[in-house]
Amino acid sequence: MQHVSMGGACACGMGGVTLRLQDFERDILDYLRDDAGRLGEAEAHALLQCHAPAGQEGGMAAVLSALADPDGGVPQAGAAWLLGRLDRTLSSFARLHGGARSGALP
């Protein structure tokens, strides 16, 4: 539910353009899917294809739910790659769009 400052104003209702992290969800998922495919991370790519297919809205909640389910059968290597890449992606997003003072999200 983070918002992004646009045009010098906070997007929380005090002027400016309202954007939330969810507005970028599809772009983030597409980036992760493309990166996994390009780097040969078949397990991570399959997980994203299964829970967040290209061309569909949303999907991040489904991906995170699959990763959190101990009985979901998600391969460890794919989960580790995806979580690491997601951490880097969200940290980068926060640095670029405000909300993070360091390289890591709280």
CA-wise closest residue to 89 among 104, 74, 68, 77: 104
- Mind listing the pLDDT tens digit for each residue in 30-63? 999 999 999 999 999 999 998 888 777 668 888 9
* DSSP labels, the chain: --B--BTTB-TTSSSS---BGGGGHHHHHHHHHHHHHHTT-HHHHHHHHHHS-TTSS--HHHHHHHHH-TTS---HHHHHHHHHHHHHHHHHHHHHHSS-SSSS--
pTM over 0.85: no
